Chains A and B, each alone.
Chain A
Amino acid sequence: MSNAEAHTQAHHEHHETFVSKYIFSMDHKMISRQFLLTAVVMGVVGMMLSILFRLQLGYDGESFAILNTLLGDKWAPGGVLDKNMYLALVTIHGTIMVFFVLTGGLSGTFSNLLIPLQIGARDMASGFLNMLSYWFFFISAMIMLLSLFLEGGPASGGWTIYPPLSALPQAMPGSGAGMTWWLVSMGIFVVSSLLGSLNYIVTILNLRVKGMKMTRLPLTMWAFLITAIIGVLSFPVLLSAVVLLIMDRTMGTAFYLSDIIIAGEVLEATGGSPILYEHLFWFLGHPEVYIVLIPALGITSEVISTNARKPIFGYRAMIGSLCAIGFLSFIVWGHHMFVSGMSPFLGSVFVFTTLLIAIPSAVKAFNYLTTLWKGNIVFTPAMLFSIGLVSTFISGGLTGIILADSALDIAVHDTYFVVGHFHIVMGMSAIFGMFAGVYHWFPKLFGRMMNTKLGYVHFWMTIIGGYGVFFPMHFLGLAGAPRRYYSYSDYPIFENLVDLNQFVTFFAIFGGVAQLVFLYNFIYSSLFGQKAVENPWKSNTLEWTTPVEHIHGNWPGAIPEVYRWPYDYSKPGIEEDFVPQNIPLAPGEEEH
């Protein structure tokens, strides 16, 4: 460490107060923990909301004291969920899970923690922007949570908030103040996401330590880089969609409105198009799916390679397929709009581009399988979740191929088939990636170990719960059951789906209970868990060369130089089954 560096470091530690260390911290490790804790809280709320509306779907019209206790007489009179509240719960559940848990939570936590540590940087390029990014995220999350307590209820037009439903307060109670709060929250969220993403990109491109070539970056870094690029290019489009919607709601513009009579009132607006909103929304919305999934894939690549004690198979192909997925994600959005009245020719184009995405996805899946083949697999909880991710990625990906086919989509668009598909991908794959990350990097986050046995219990219960909830949904969809329905009792054709719905509700509760095991393990271990050692998983990447106790600047001395790629596991001719990146090549040793 140079004198100047040592000086800065001492300087920082000297002046650190409670506020600058724990609240307005600019240290990426603290910000990462802040993101994680916020995401865990949001995740608990999102999960609870889903159980509340699952009760109604499984036991239509039956009274549950818990609904009345939690929601009060207004939203659950006599313990039966109100129709408007049902839609509100569905909407906020989706919003929280997609944006606050899987975008802010997943990317925010692990990009922040791992980028400086794995590329060998003392911190993010801009600690200040990084701090702002978290606090915008926090404010946005609070606005979203508080909107649950508004007089007219929170936004309830579905997480996609299509106008005119979301533009007209007369259309439903949730389109009043609740929608305003949703839009404001989302606007702030976009700011947070942009600040974060810019920082991630700049840091990865500019602050790599000597020897850390782009082709020596761990796949997590590649994943976070591509995620950040997608975010920077797509979130502004959501912002413009939101701004235009706010203008339609408050300033009498008509970007999305045309020829409308609502609640007996004839609106003057003519010439706007709700389809414009759909295009803008899904121009973010589809890349968003990959913003959620790619970090999970990156984490999985790292965890599978480490715990199979074997290099990730096809490193360059993995990078190539990530880039291909990232690029293609921008030209597939129309597959959400096959039945919107869009030109059938345009539909064909989107069928083509969407199905192309299956190729890099298939390459990834095969590469994971080959990495496991002839490995020496250590079943840490993180490894279990990564294997679970591969299973769900395949299961959910295959139904994606069906939904990409416009002709098939006509039959199941907006039914439970779609709900099953994207929950297996986002609610299982992406969440599994997040869990894998938490179990794997917990020693880096909190300096302690999580309980392994409880981790096993958590994984096996979660995968049973997850498949128990989301697999049957495909059958509901194939039976024609539309999503976002409060009740199916008025339809003779859905009469015999009651058992199926109860089955789903049962497993939803089971899966919810499984998360209590995680929560307990998470909280207990972060406070009292076994103290971690420097490199518990015998891993190659640079973060495991930092001391367990967090220090400013990450490494007490000089940052270790990098001499090799991160996947030298079980390399022939070397006794240990791992060689960290900072070990120079032995004389005559080839890189890979």
Chain B
Amino acid sequence: MMRILAVLIIAMVVIAIAQLSRIHELSKKIRNKREEDISDNANRFNAGLMLVSMFVYFGFVIWQMVVWGPLMLPEAASEHGASIDNLWTFNWIILLPVFFITHILLFYFSYKYYYKKGKKAYYYPHNNKLEFIWTIVPSVVLAVIIIFGLITWNKIQVTTDENPLKIELYAKQFDWTARYTGNDNVLGGVNYLLVSGTNPLGIMTESTIDEKEAEYIAEIEKLEASLAEVMPDDKREEVEHKIQMFHRFVSRIIDFRTGSNDLTTGSDDKIVKGELHLPIGKEVEFTIRAQDVIHSAFMPHFRMQMNAVPGEITRFVMKPTISTEEMRVKLDNPDFNYILLCNKICGAAHYNMQMNVIVESQADYDQWISEQKVFIAETAVENISKETPIADLK
């Protein structure tokens, strides 16, 4: 009922507007007024609105700064972030006056020079000197912007610590996993073919290679056995294709043992989910990987962002300077937490791929990291727990 009523009302409104404009047209015809003849009143009115617009627009911009300014991110919590913030300030100082001055000119000219009968516009087709000036002035200003921008850009690429803390961020639909090194501060080698339930990041060690090789061989045997059964041709082809592929996987995996792969450094790595802990004042070199599609590691408070690309390793180096506790005090918000977000569209739950980040003192960090399980030990434990139920069944 409501819907029919709504449709009726809309229809009536449309008809009413149509009729009104029809009357308007007709009256115009009677008065011999044409659409392209813009009346003095209309010109004056729009010119007036241009002046009003200036105040409304500037008022709106300032109002937003006052009301929403406090909602912006707090000061950067990292060393390079602070230089990025300085560059922001520098750019705003140049750009805001340009914004206001050009708009004042635009709105003022539009207001002042509205059409007056009998007046003629000033014929002013060009002025080389003037044009030269406003090619050179923006060039100089932009040169300054470019130079300061590139100085900052180059500065934040430089690693200052000789031996930064190495942490890997691993993205997959739709969560983050972090990997810390053991005492050696070296992250073990990885390959996606080694990923398994017990080795979620595909770390390369003697045992993970053995395990995965055995797994694929078992899989191949199972598939070969299944070929003995009767099955449609296309299904058979598919199985044969799969067997071939697994064979290739096996030979690729076997190759990991040879060559320059270091199989010893991965066993003491620590895999952490849920929370990312960072010691304050220590430079961290993040290596970033993805399992399935492109993701992006975004930590807005640290002004850190780097894509996670399948098949590639990307890096970002940063040094946290404000601990979580300090930031809580600064923001007067005891529940505040730094956060790691995904910032590249990656699927349905892209909007909720987050991890809390805790910046704490070196001592607290050492304590926390010592409590995290070592990768191989963890694998062993999980293997046992997985085998137990089977033993029970027997």
Query: Which residues of A does B touch, CB under 8 Å?
Result: 83-84, 87, 157-158, 162-165, 168, 171-173, 257-263, 266, 268, 270-275, 308-317, 339-341, 344, 347-348, 351-352, 355-356, 358-359, 362-363, 365-367, 369-370, 372-380, 384, 387, 390-391, 394-395, 398, 401-402, 405-408, 410-411, 413-415, 443, 449-454, 456, 460, 463, 467, 471-472, 475, 478-480, 482, 484-488, 490-493, 496-497, 500, 520, 524, 528-530, 533, 536-537, 567, 569-572, 577, 592
Contacts and interface: CB of A to CB of B under 8 A. Distances in A.
Contact of A475 (B14, B72, B120, B248): B72
B156 to A, nearest CB: 6
B73 A480 contact: yes
A314 B131 contact: yes
Contact of A380 (B24, B38, B72, B130): B38
Contact of A171 (B28, B344, B347): B347
A339 B307 contact: yes
Nearest to A90: B345
Contact of A310 (B36, B103, B121): B121
Given A379-B47, A407-B153, A452-B38, 4 more contacts: A314-B125, A347-B153, A379-B46, A411-B88
Nearest to B53: A463
A460 B98 contact: no
Interface in B25-67: 25, 28-29, 34-36, 38, 42-43, 46-47, 49-50, 53, 57, 60-61, 64
Nearest to A449: B35
B347 A405 contact: no
B145 A259 contact: no
Contacts of B354: 490-491
Given A168-B293, A313-B124, A394-B102, A530 B34 contact: yes
B36 A490 contact: no
Contacts of A570: 120-123
A31 B183 CA distance: 71
Contact of A275 (B46, B303, B309): B309
Interface residues of B, number: 120
A414 B150 contact: no
Given A376-B119, A451-B35, A456-B46, A478 B311 contact: no
A537 B311 contact: no
22 contacts: A84-B348, A87-B345, A162-B293, A261-B192, A274-B310, A313-B124, A317-B135, A355-B146, A363-B131, A365-B102, A376-B114, A379-B115, A384-B46, A401-B95, A407-B152, A475-B71, A479-B72, A480-B341, A485-B351, A487-B351, A487-B352, A520-B17
A395 B99 contact: yes
A493 B288 CA distance: 24
Nearest to B288: A341
A315 B106 contact: no
A259 B192 contact: yes
Closest 8 CB pairs of A and B: A258-B311, A480-B300, A341-B314, A449-B35, A374-B122, A379-B46, A536-B36, A310-B121
A351 B153 contact: yes
A377 B110 contact: yes
Nearest to A267: B192
Contacts of A377: 43, 47, 110, 113-115
Nearest to A480: B300
Nearest to A398: B95
A406 B113 contact: no
B64 A257 contact: no
A164 B308 CA distance: 12
A486 B346 CA distance: 12
B343 A413 contact: yes
B45 to A, nearest CB: 8
A268 B192 CA distance: 10
Contacts of A411: 81, 84, 88, 300, 303, 305
A157 B153 CA distance: 30
A500 B67 CA distance: 10
B232 interface: no
Contact of A374 (B38, B113, B139): B113
B149 A351 contact: yes
A266 B249 contact: yes
A567 B121 CA distance: 12
Contacts of A402: 88, 91, 95
B99 A471 contact: no
Interface in B336-368: 336-337, 339, 341-352, 354
A316 B113 contact: no
Nearest to A352: B146
Contacts of B88: 402, 408, 411
Interface in B307-341: 307, 309-312, 314-315, 335-337, 339, 341
Nearest to B92: A402
Given A369-B109, A373-B113, A493-B339, A577 B121 contact: yes
Given A375-B113, A471-B60, A398 B125 contact: no
B84 A340 contact: no
Contacts of B312: 258, 273, 275, 341
A171 to B, nearest CB: 5
Contact of A491 (B35, B134, B193, B339): B339
Contacts of A172: 347-348
Nearest to A340: B307
Nearest to B88: A408
Nearest to B346: A165
B188 to A, nearest CB: 16
Given A313-B124, A374-B124, A378-B43, A351 B146 contact: yes
Contacts of B377: none
Contact of B106 (A339, A352, A390, A407): A390
Contacts of A471: 60-61, 64
A373 B109 contact: yes
A372 B145 contact: no
A263 B292 CA distance: 8
Contact of B64 (A308, A472, A572): A472
A117 to B, nearest CB: 18
Q: Which of A171, A311, A366 has the most CB of B within 10 A?
A: A366
B41 to A, nearest CB: 11
Contacts of A84: 348
Nearest to B149: A405
Nearest to B57: A467
B124 A414 contact: no
Contact of B126 (A313, A460, A482): A313
A378 B115 contact: yes
A84 B109 CA distance: 48
Nearest to A456: B46
Contact of B125 (A262, A311, A443): A311
B349 A83 contact: yes
Contacts of B84: 407-408, 410-411
B181 interface: no
Contact of B293 (A171, A536, A571): A171
B124 A311 contact: yes
B309 A456 contact: no
Given A352-B146, A358-B142, A394-B99, A375 B121 contact: yes
Q: Which of A316, A384, A482 has the most CB of B within 10 A?
A: A482
Given A172-B348, A344-B157, A398 B309 contact: no
B150 A352 contact: yes
A581 to B, nearest CB: 15
B380 interface: no
A260 B291 contact: yes
A30 to B, nearest CB: 24
Given A258-B310, A310-B122, A496-B71, A530 B35 contact: yes
A275 B311 CA distance: 10
Nearest to A384: B46
B73 A478 contact: yes
Nearest to A452: B35
Nearest to A339: B305
